[in-house]
Amino acid sequence: MDANSEVGGNASESFDVFFRECFPRIVSFLVSEGYALEDSRDAAETAMTQTYSRWEGLSTPKAYAFKIAIREAGKNYFRGREDIARAVKGGWLRSPKDTEGDTLNIEGESWIKFILSQLPEGQRIAMALHVDGFTVSEIAQTMGVRKSTVRSHLRHARATLKRLLQEKEG
């Protein structure tokens, strides 16, 4: 069943079906974007709460929920970075610059997650949503941009990924 389709019965029942289908997908998507599991769950919970409050008026609840979750995860991420900076400045936490070595440690991370992280934000989000099965229209609505912008993001992302793959093989 498509998470954007209506289910027979009352709105509460259709939202229950939607929640069961979309909540884990949102969490999985945010984790694949590099957010911590708990932060991803928190953002997904906020998105589901806001989606439920507007449930009756939404024509594409999946796109709306993903849009809210992405925004919440980003806000929480930057809020967390500000907290860390304040803790370092106040002497409560060592600066990450104090660690030994500058090696990029990607051990244990999937290669696709690493390679997507090489893309600019718009391209990365568009490509990750595309890989997750979203249509260009759904991606545009989720990101709050025009379809032509999504197509451009995907085209540039493919070109960059192709170049990175060729560099890796060469």
pLDDT digits (tens, 9 = 90+) for 103-115: 333 333 456 667 7
pTM of the model: 0.54
Can you tell me whether residue 43 is helix, strand or coil?
helix
Tell me which of 67-81, 86-100, 122-136 is least confident.
86-100
Tokens at 60, concatenated: 């594409």
Inter-residue contact 159 to 151 (CB < 8 Å) = no
* pLDDT on residue 81: 52
* pLDDT on residue 100: 42
In the chain, the domains with their CATH numbers are 1-98 (no CATH), 106-170 (1.10.10.10)
**For the chain, what is the HEC assignment?**
CCCCCCCCCCHHHHHHHHHHHHHHHHHHHHHHCCCCHHHHHHHHHHHHHHHHHCHHHCCCHHHHHHHHHHHHHHHHHHHHHHHHHHHHHCCCCCCHHHCCCCCCCCCCCCHHHHHHCCCCHHHHHHHHHHHCCCCHHHHHHHHCCCHHHHHHHHHHHHHHHHHHHHHHHC
* pLDDT on residue 170: 62
